[in-house]
Every structure is written in C-alpha cells, then in structure tokens.
Amino acid sequence: MPFDGLFLYNVCHELNDNLRQGRIEKIYQPAREEIVLIISKPGGKYRLIINANAQNARLHLTGKSAPNPTAPPMFCMLLRKHLEGGKISGFLQSGLDRVLNIQVDCRDELGRPAVKSLICEIMGRHSNIILVSRPDNTILDGIRRYGHAVSRHREVLPGQPYIPPPEPQKVNPLMVSEEDFREAVMNGQLEDNLAVALQKSLDGLSIPTCREIIKLAGLEPNILLNYCGEHELRTLWQTWQPLASDARKQKLQSVLVCNCDGEPVDFFPLPVVKNEKFTYTKARANDTVDAFFSHKIIREIINKQRSQLLSIINKEAKRIQKKLALQRKSVAEAGESDRLRLYGELLTANIYRLERGMQGIELENYHDPEAKTVVIPLDKSLSASENVQSYFKKYNKANKTKKAAGQMARLSEEELQYLDSVKAALEIAENMDDLNEIRQELTKQGYIKKTAVQPGKKREKDTPQKIKPLQYVSGDGFIVLVGKNNRQNDTLTLKTAEDSDIWLHTSKIPGSHVIIRTKGREVPEKTLLEAATLAAYFSRARESTNVPVDYTLRKHVKKPNGAKPGYVIYEKQKTVFVNPQPNAMQQAERE
C-alpha cells in the first residue's frame, strides 16, 4: 500500500517522542534520492531514513545500514554544512498531509543561531526532500530540482521561495463531525466505488486504507456510492470513530501483513480484517514500515541483480544459437561428402572408359542397384586419373569440414545446455549470496569480464564463497542435501556425497543435484519420493506436474574431463514421476 497521510501521522508522533531535541551527528546519502540522518540523544543513537524515490517514498526510523558512496553527493554536502550539529526542535505535519517538516535549530556561517527546515514530501512520483532557510522561507536546495517547465505551481530551485504542494480539497477525518463526514462522502460521484469516494473526500487516507475501513464496517468491499444509504453511512461512521479516537490519542497501532513464508507483503496504519492466508503483526509505525521496506528493497536489489545476470545469459545464448545455425548449415552442406566418395569410387572402377575432353559419363551404380546408373560430371581439361583424384580431394575436404563443424555444433549445444542450467539456478536463487556464487561462476567461465584494477590498487582474490547447500530432513530421518547452482552441484556430488548415497536429478531438465545421505542404510520409498519432489521443485520444471526424476547411486555419477560446471553423466538410473513441492520435507540447518 502507499505511505499515506494517516501512516505518516503515526510516524510523526513516534518521531517526536523519540527524536525531539536530538542532535544531528552525521548525514549520509546512500542513494540518489535517499538521505540518512544519524541522530543522537542521551541513551542512544537513531538512524532516520528519508526517501524520495517514486516507488519507495517514505520516512521512518531504521535499524539497517547501507553502504555509502566514497564521495558524498552535492546535496549531502549541503545538508552537512547546514544541519550537522543542529538540534531537532520538532516534527510538524499539517493535518494528514503527506508533508513532514523537520525543524532544526542550528547556526549559520557566522555562528549565529538559525532555524532550518528539512521538508519531506512523501507523495509518490512527486516526492522530494527540500532544505529551507527560516524565517525568510528560501529554498537552499532540493534533492530533486525542477522549474516551471515541469511544474506550473512552483519551482524547486536554490534561492526561490518555498511554496507547499497544492492542498487537497478534503476534510480531515480525525476532526470531522458525523454530519460533515456524511456530506463529504455523498458529494462524490455516485458511480464511484465507495473506497474511491472515501479517498477523494477524506484527507490522508489511501484507497487500500479505505477498503480496510469498509471491510471493518462489514460492508461489501466493491459497493458503489450510489447504493449507499443511511445504514451504510452510519455503519461507516461508527467504525471510523474509534479508529480516529485512537489515532488522536496516539494509540493506533500499525499492522504488518506477511505471507505464509513470513515475508512482508503489505502494511496498514490501522487494524484490518484478517485472512487465513496471511499473518498479521501489530507494531509501532516506524517498526512496521522499516520491516516492510527492508524486505522490499532487498527483493528489488536481488531482482535487479537477477535480471542483469539473466540479460548476460540471454545475450550469450542468442550469440551461440546464431553460431550453431551456421555450424549446422556447414554440416548439411558437407553432407554431400558421401556422394563425392561414390563418384570417385565409380570413376576408379571405370577409369579405362574415361578420356580427356569428356564433360560427363553415365556409369552403373553397383552400390545401389535400384538407381541403376548415375551421371558423373567431369572436367574436360583433366585426364582420367586427375578427375578421379579431384573427386577424392573434394571428398576428403568435405569430410573434414563435416567432422569439424559437427564437433563445433556439439560444443555449441553443450554450451547452450550449460547456460540453460545457469538460468535454472537463477530462478531458484533466494538471496545475494546465491547470486554472487552464480556471478563468480560466470566470471570464471569468461561470460563476465573481471573488473579493471585501479592504478595503485591490487586485484582482490576471487575467493569462492563457502558452499552451503540446502539441507532437509525426510519423514524417515534421512538428511537430504540440495545444491542451488552449478558450483554447489559439483561440490555436493563430487566431494560431499559418498558412493553409497542416492543421487537425484530431473531427467533431461536443468536443475539441482539432490543427495540422500544413506550412511549405508536402505532408503525407504517415502524418503525417495520426498527427495524427488525437491529435485523437481528446484529445477526448470517447478511449475509443471508429473515431472520425471532420475535417481541412482552416487558411484554411478561421473564428470567428464573438461565438462562445464554442474554437468555430469550417470548410468544404472531409475525414474520416478512426481509433482514439485517446496515443502516436501522440513528444512534443517545448513551444513
């Protein structure tokens, strides 16, 4: 959901409780549109993050740190000049507007007391962070500058007066009476959804928040305003009043919504109607939004890295496919080598019938009685023996070309299979460690160039990370290990597993190597099927059904010399068909 005015209202009160009279010690700018203030008070230090990115605009306390650029950007240096050492006198919000004013008591260049405002506008793609000098209301700078060419309402440029964003023509839902509440809602468009009508008439409430209020009132979520009467408006008002009262008393707790895997998927500034598919945690607003965006930012970074690696693989695969097409064409063209050999043999057997100056000859094809005869072109300038030698030379050349092109085509096909296996590893990668392993593998294989070393610095050694396969425990108590990329697969199969262990892999489908640690015991069918469902899940066939999975003893698995990472050959295998299941076993601690 968006970071709306009601959520900012909750955050603002918590910031005043925690940070008022706090001193700004350090200021960082870890990203182009993000500022971090390190604020100290007796008893501890706080990290306040302010973000003006269109998708992640927010303001809250955080316990997470982020790497900072070696050279601070200009806006960061300006904030340090004016605000470092200053004391925060308060956090001010007008109504439920999505604009927060951080008032800072500091000193100017001459050491005289001064007041500066760091104005945080949390408004989606219109978000901004603006430093303003008081009391003259002059803009010192903004993290996003623009003039009248972008906005007719105002300019955000140094030296210009600060003009607040246009105020919405809405009522403050925390201060509204029942009569004004009804009037504001019913002034909307009758064909509007009730949630849209509430959002258009009440300040500080996003559409997702309005939907939750409607659900709490027990009304149909998609009801139209045209179908709302006395009962619906009365019920809405009675539902909203206790929430508004708690907000005014700073007792309104925010809610973090997580999926079945415990991953944050949404957050709200008020209680919500629960769904059994999700878990709900009530917490302070700053803690709620920090948990949500910490996870969201990590996922965005992971997805960005995944997309970059996938782009490299797709580019290489496209190049190899073009090369493979040419190689197959060469093989096809050289496929006439058998015809050239036949011509040479027939001419040799009938050399006594050849004379210089002949342009061709029709001979009996004793290799194919059904064809009876074949017409063989001749070079009239050559003698009989020279024509024979010419055809054998062409045959030898075509045969060599066929073999070479066939060998290169086979190598190209193997390389495409390898890149397909890397794609499978990218699909199941869960964190940056997994992606870094894949990046190191691609760098070692030459698909990614090593970064250039700056003058005066030594190249860092490419030390591979410790291999950490996933570890599960079957219902029968057997340890099952799953590799998540080619490097892990090689280590798991060739170094970790013992000859008596069971090795599993999807049949002719890129995926993970799976090992059942037997310790010499016989593996029950239940454990075998559980491990097979994991092998199917950690493969390119995870969205399919009835997936074939091969299994055999580890001693029957070999890696050919010079093979790509993750590539093995195996024998004496059996096959089972299973449906992929991520939770086929209980996950244990990694080795």
Per-residue pLDDT of the chain (591 residues), as tens digits, is 679 999 999 999 999 999 999 999 999 999 999 999 999 999 899 999 999 999 999 999 999 888 888 899 999 999 999 999 999 999 999 999 999 999 999 988 888 899 999 999 999 899 999 999 999 999 999 999 999 988 888 999 999 999 999 888 899 999 999 999 999 999 888 899 999 999 999 999 999 999 999 999 999 988 999 998 899 999 999 999 999 999 999 999 999 999 988 899 999 999 999 999 999 999 999 999 999 999 999 999 999 999 999 999 999 999 999 999 988 887 777 667 777 788 888 888 888 888 888 888 888 887 776 767 888 888 888 888 888 888 888 888 878 877 888 888 888 998 999 999 999 999 888 888 889 999 999 999 989 987 655 555 555 555 555 667 899 999 999 999 999 999 999 999 999 999 999 999 999 999 999 999 999 899 999 999 999 999 999 999 989 999 999 999 999 999 999 899 999 999 999 999 999 987 777 666 443
The pTM assigned to this predicted structure is 0.79
- How far apart (Å, rounded) are the C-alpha atoms in residues 19 and 230? 45
**512: left (phi > 0), else alpha (psi -120 to 50), else beta?**
beta
**Three-class SS state of 103:** strand
pLDDT at residue 591 in the model:
39
Q: Please name the residues in contact with 70: beta carbons below 8 A apart, sequence gap of 6 or more.
A: none
**Which tokens is 335 given?**
């496929």
For 564, the token pair is 């790509």
The rounded distance, in Å, linking the Cα atoms of 299 and 199 is: 30
The answer to whether 52 touches 34, Cβ cutoff 8 Å, is yes
- Cα separations (Å) of 205 from 190, 202, 463? 19, 6, 51
For residue 590, the model assigns a pLDDT of 42
Query: Which among 391, 386, 393, 590 is positioned nearest to 483, based on CA atoms?
Result: 590
CB–CB of 232/193 below 8 Å?
no
Quote the tokens at residue 137. Answer: 């209301």
Which stretches of 53-172 are DSSP H helices?
Answer: 74-83
Cα(121)–Cα(102) distance, integer angstroms: 11
Q: Which residue has the tokens 């008022």?
A: 20
Q: Which residues of 319-349 are buried (b: 16+ CB within 10 A; e: fewer)?
A: ebeeebeebbebbeebeebeebbbbbbbbee
How many Å apart are CA 472 and CA 421, to the nearest integer? 22
Find how far residue 310's CA is from the centre of its chain. Answer: 11
CA atoms of 267 and 156, how far apart (whole Å): 31
pLDDT at 372: 77
